[in-house]
Chain A
Amino acid sequence: MSGPKDFQSLLLALQTYWADRGCALMQGYDLEVGAGTMNPATFLRVLGPEPWNVAYVEPSRRPADGRFGENPNRLHQHHQYQVILKPSPKDVQEQYLGSLRAIGITSEDHDLRFVEDDWESPTLGAWGLGWEVWCDGMEVTQFTYFQQAGGFECRPVAAELTYGLERIAMYLQGVDDIYDLVFCTYPDGTRLTYRDVFWQNEREQSEYSFHASDPARLLLLFDEYEKECRRLVEKKLPLPAYDYCLKCSHAFNLLDARGAISVTERQGYILRVRRLAHDCAKLYLATRVQMKFPSLKDRALAEKELARYAGLLKPEDAQPPRAEQR
């Protein structure tokens, strides 16, 4: 197989490929997120009519998936390669297959398949339709046409490509244990492995998520983050508010991993995060409307779109969320 030889070459190959197709190369978000979708560069930017083409690596934390560095396939923190193409181009499947070719996965050598998969995030109030893309039976990418985010229709529709980097790298390098992945090679020929880079983190984070976290404090933090998010929504600051929504989500994930939330309560917490996400999304859209969708070049279209979202600026809608909405 003539693919990238190590983990970071894989990232570089994807970065180069998507940069060549006009994507802005961004960075993973500097807060804990469970997936690249939660990065505001996806969740907020898929809203409204403004075009947005972007690609970035997202370190994604899933506390419940931690395995103390002992499981060859599961990680507390894995890396997603996230691409957003908005509006979704007509040839998005071909562009995507081109990216696989760029990392050495070709249809001549592999069984590539688009298998139905409906994506939904209950905490984000987001859903879309698409596929999991299979390479020889292995899911390598989640391919989604975003239909809704934060409870709002996505117009135009954005295509989201989420590559599971560790999995792809394991396949390309032919290793069965994640920790045996070669991350890069030093000038003296020493191979830096995934174990060298992440193993201690996996162990400690798992220890923290499953044993050392303090559920009482996390519950308190969840409540505080929620309050802060609401306060910032009232201050009409959607981006800072969304940061606290993300913090709520992460606190919830930690509580969930610790088994501190009963099945009955679970739904309630998910709903609380979803309401925050909805309020942030709504406020973000409203601020873009106020700025008259500045990155939309077609001003006639912008006027039409502003009319569509006019309702968002009505005084009753701009009211801060009230306690009874909870």
Chain B
Amino acid sequence: MDLVFEIGTEELPASFQKPALEWMAAEINKLLDDHRLNGEGEGQRASIATYATPRRLALIVTAIAPSAPDLRKKVSGPPLKQAKQDGKWTKAAEGFARKAGVSVEALKVEGDRVVVEQHVRGQSAAEALPGMLEQIVRGIPFRKSMRWDALEGDAFARPVHWIAAALDGKPLPVSFADVTSAPKTRGHRFAAPEEFPLPSAKDYVPALRKAHVLADWAERSKRISEEVARAAGEAGGVPRPDPELLETVTGLVEEPFAVAGFFDKDFLQLPPEVLISEMRGHQKYFAVQDVHGVLLPAFVAVSNTKVRDPAVSRRGYERVLRARLSDGKFFFDEDRKLPLRSRMERLGRRTFLQGLGTELERVQRLRELSLWLHGVTGKGDPRRLAEAAELCKADLTTGMVGEFPELQGAMGRVYALNDGVDPKVADAIFEHYLPRGAEDRLPSEDTGALLGIADRLDLIVGLFGLGKEPSGTADPYGLRRAALGILRVTLARGYRFDVDDALLAAQKLHRKDDAKARERVWQFLLGRLEVLLRDKAQPDSIQAALHTGAHDLIALEKRLVALQTVREKSRAQFEATAAAFKRIGNILAQAQEKGFSPVGFEAERCKETSERALAAALEQSRARVSTALEDNEDYLAAYAALAELRPVVDEFFDEVMVMDPDPRLRDNRLALLRSLHELFSPLADFSRLQVEKSS
């Protein structure tokens, strides 16, 4: 059977629509499962489609089972001792039967209990759906909900005006707030405001289309793209691609009509970033460019109505943009009167974050920290780094960034170039913010890259120092993103430095030295690194490689790559080696628990041949492994040495009892194993690997 369900509302925020649909689809799927109505035949599932416009959220579910199959359910009652006395049913048994809706004759005995088999009638879809749909209307998790009128209790993203629900054309009763469902819907607010009968599942989209509503998100989005391209073409260009804006505009219209407009060529003197922000940010206009990507003095607005004379609304669109661009021009002219260098005093009056001093103190720390990073990595140019650090936050005091916070860095670069600053320094001012998100590009040069790392280290260390660490989903200062930025830039540019030293350097600039806080930051960074590397290896490999004691991100990544390579190349052999090392790790851990303290290994204390053989083999490979690990970072060579040792190790375990009653023998063997374990510990923490036990 087919369900059509629509919630009609006042204009919903664009960003609420899709998440609501995703939730509704998942929820109806789950509820149909719970009610055993998901699908008309054995092994079949109902198919779920969702639709949203600013004024409606809709679910179309087809092939719902007409009714759930009946069930036989066994209910157990009181113990036999209480239920039957002297061969007669007791009061307790009668009560149980009455409750179960059967006569005492239907009671059965199973073991020492009385049971009854009940026949549970499966609900029909028409019976079950109204409750499910009410649960859905009440349950949609909006980021913000509101009340309206004098209604108590029920809240929604915006006031609800109608609810339409029908199963195979038969109305379903659903109530919410002061609305009771009726099988009727409405078209476009202006173009087709009249009520009309709720269409069938098959006709829903076409019927709404006729009523000037493109209910399907993808169809509407595509139509907008086409309309915008057409209008941009009329203005002599192409639209600047902007998927994010397209998504927003799709949530703002039910039927799109694009209108091109123009602005004065003089405004093209403004940086393109500013023009684009002015157009897309407040106005939701698409920028228009030529085939080379150069902005034209034109834009495309997307209207929700086909107006009588597009020239009228075009004049309106142009006027608003003109006022905004004039404002932008005003900021641009004013801002350029005061060089970035002269804005230091203003930075001194701005608080960075409560407890972390002023913006001026912040940039002073950034200068020191980025120079420190230069010192340890040998990358970047110290003069440029110092200058970029001093200037990198100066644009926060400009009118333009005040108006468009997303232009921080971009305006810094524009104004720095205007001041005659070294272009590479200007680029670094912009690039130190990169990457701004998971999809964003990385800095192209060392100056911006190192400054960006310093900026994020300063933020994370500062806030951890104040106890403001992210918890659960709450990350108000964007520390996870900052951590990811440090990791991505460091790995991509191959910067070698000891992160713990860097954290200490950052702490010192905050006048702190707190090893525990550094450890918390390190664990936080490791957690993010695990997420970042998720696609590169299996989870236990990541765990094992990252917990090898190194505080050098590049080393950690190399260790992971080697581990994963060896693991994939010769899985069986690797598993056996890893299992042996896990075993060694376990033995050493037990020994430590028992308080055994193996002193230095002495060859002459060896008793068994295999013991001596292992000691000799270990000594033989020690130099090679140390060189491979410490000097060459050739982890694959170390793994090869490890693989060569395995037969000797296996033999040792076959023949030798490590925990010998003789403490001298025992401790000597423990010392041997510890020495072996330590030698290879930079490769991986084998105890974190999930491998089959070696037989």
Bound pair: A and B? yes
Task: Tell me if B326 and A114 are in contact (CB < 8 A).
Answer: no
Verify if A163 is at the interface (C-beta below 8 Å from B). Answer: no
Residues of A199-249 at the interface with B, using a CB-CB cut-off of 8 Å, are none
Task: Tell me if A107 and B316 are in contact (CB < 8 A).
Answer: no
Task: Tell me if B149 and A88 are in contact (CB < 8 A).
Answer: yes
Contacts of A72 in B (CB 8 A): 323, 326
Bound-state CA distance A155–B149 (Å) is: 8
User: Which residue in B10, B309, B349 is a CB contact (below 8 Å) of A93?
Assistant: B10
Contacts of A129 in B (CB 8 A): 144, 146, 157-158
Task: Tell me if A136 and B316 are in contact (CB < 8 A).
Answer: yes
Task: Tell me if B354 and A264 are in contact (CB < 8 A).
Answer: yes
Bound-state CA distance A171–B322 (Å) is: 13
Q: A87-B149, A107-B190 are in contact. Are A263 and B351 (CB under 8 A)?
A: yes
Measured between C-beta atoms, what is the minimum distance from A65 to chain B in Å? 12
Q: A87-B150, A145-B146, A262-B351 are in contact. Are A73 and B326 (CB under 8 A)?
A: yes
Q: A73-B327, A109-B307, A137-B320 are in contact. Are A147 and B313 (CB under 8 A)?
A: no
Residues of A127-142 at the interface with B, using a CB-CB cut-off of 8 Å, are 128-129, 131, 135-138
Bound-state CA distance A115–B158 (Å) is: 12
Bound-state CA distance A135–B320 (Å) is: 10
Task: Tell me if B144 and A156 are in contact (CB < 8 A).
Answer: no
Verify if A111 is at the interface (C-beta below 8 Å from B). Answer: yes
Verify if B305 is at the interface (C-beta below 8 Å from A). Answer: yes
Task: Tell me if A131 and B11 are in contact (CB < 8 A).
Answer: yes
Bound-state CA distance A73–B322 (Å) is: 11
Task: Tell me if A157 and B327 are in contact (CB < 8 A).
Answer: no
Verify if B605 is at the interface (C-beta below 8 Å from A). Answer: no
Contacts of B508 in A (CB 8 A): none
Verify if B364 is at the interface (C-beta below 8 Å from A). Answer: no
Q: A136-B313, A136-B316, A137-B317 are in contact. Are A263 and B150 (CB under 8 A)?
A: no
Task: Tell me if B304 and A176 are in contact (CB < 8 A).
Answer: no
Verify if A112 is at the interface (C-beta below 8 Å from B). Answer: yes
Contacts of A88 in B (CB 8 A): 148-149, 159
Contacts of B313 in A (CB 8 A): 109-111, 136-137
Q: A87-B150, A115-B252, A157-B149 are in contact. Are A138 and B308 (CB under 8 A)?
A: no
Taking each of B178, B319, B321, B349, which has the highest tally of chain A beta carbons within 10 Å of its own beta carbon?
A: B319
Task: Tell me if B13 and A108 are in contact (CB < 8 A).
Answer: no
Using CB atoms, name the residue of chain B closest to A263: B351
Contacts of A135 in B (CB 8 A): 316
| Secondary structure type dominating chain B contacts | loop
Interface residue total, chain B, C-beta cutoff 8 A: 51
Measured between C-beta atoms, what is the minimum distance from B251 to chain A in Å? 9
Contacts of B354 in A (CB 8 A): 264
Task: Give A65-78 as 1s and 0s: 1 = Cβ < 8 Å from B's Cβ atoms.
Answer: 00000011100000
Task: Give A243-272 as 1s and 0s: 1 = Cβ < 8 Å from B's Cβ atoms.
Answer: 000000000000000000011100000000
Contacts of B351 in A (CB 8 A): 262-264
Contacts of A171 in B (CB 8 A): 316, 319
Contacts of A111 in B (CB 8 A): 259, 301, 303-305, 307, 313, 316
Measured between C-beta atoms, what is the minimum distance from A105 to chain B in Å? 10
Task: Tell me if B147 and A109 are in contact (CB < 8 A).
Answer: no
Task: Tell me if B144 and A136 are in contact (CB < 8 A).
Answer: no
Using CB atoms, name the residue of chain A closest to B352: A263
Contacts of A1 in B (CB 8 A): 312
| Secondary structure type dominating chain A contacts | loop
Interface residue total, chain A, C-beta cutoff 8 A: 38
Bound-state CA distance A87–B149 (Å) is: 5
Task: Tell me if B309 and A114 are in contact (CB < 8 A).
Answer: no
Residues of B1-39 at the interface with A, using a CB-CB cut-off of 8 Å, are 10-15
Q: A114-B11, A114-B54 are in contact. Are A90 and B149 (CB under 8 A)?
A: yes
Q: A111-B303, A113-B252, A137-B321 are in contact. Are A156 and B150 (CB under 8 A)?
A: yes
Bound-state CA distance A111–B315 (Å) is: 12
Using CB atoms, name the residue of chain B closest to A108: B308
User: Which residue in B148, B259, B308 is a CB contact (below 8 Å) of A157?
Assistant: B148
Contacts of B285 in A (CB 8 A): 137
Task: Tell me if A263 and B350 are in contact (CB < 8 A).
Answer: yes
Taking each of A107, A116, A128, A155, which has the highest tally of chain B beta carbons within 10 Å of its own beta carbon?
A: A116
Verify if B283 is at the interface (C-beta below 8 Å from A). Answer: yes
Contacts of B320 in A (CB 8 A): 136-138
Q: A87-B150, A108-B308, A147-B146 are in contact. Are A136 and B317 (CB under 8 A)?
A: yes
Measured between C-beta atoms, what is the minimum distance from B517 to chain A in Å? 24
Contacts of B350 in A (CB 8 A): 263
Measured between C-beta atoms, what is the minimum distance from A326 to chain B in Å? 19
Measured between C-beta atoms, what is the minimum distance from B654 to chain A in Å? 71
Verify if A118 is at the interface (C-beta below 8 Å from B). Answer: yes
Task: Tell me if B149 and A262 are in contact (CB < 8 A).
Answer: no
Bound-state CA distance A44–B547 (Å) is: 61
Task: Tell me if B144 and A118 are in contact (CB < 8 A).
Answer: yes
Contacts of B151 in A (CB 8 A): 156
Bound-state CA distance A66–B573 (Å) is: 78
Q: List 28 A-B contacts (CB under 8 A).
A: A49-B150, A72-B326, A88-B148, A90-B178, A107-B189, A107-B190, A108-B307, A109-B312, A111-B304, A112-B190, A113-B11, A113-B252, A114-B11, A115-B252, A116-B11, A118-B144, A129-B146, A129-B158, A136-B320, A137-B285, A138-B316, A145-B159, A147-B146, A156-B149, A156-B150, A156-B151, A171-B316, A176-B322
Q: Besides A49-B150, A113-B252, A145-B147, 8 other CB < 8 A contacts?
A: A90-B159, A114-B10, A115-B284, A116-B11, A136-B317, A136-B319, A137-B316, A176-B323
Enumerate chain A interface residues (CB-CB to B < 8 A): 1, 49, 71-73, 87-90, 93, 107-116, 118, 128-129, 131, 135-138, 145, 147, 155-157, 171, 176, 262-264
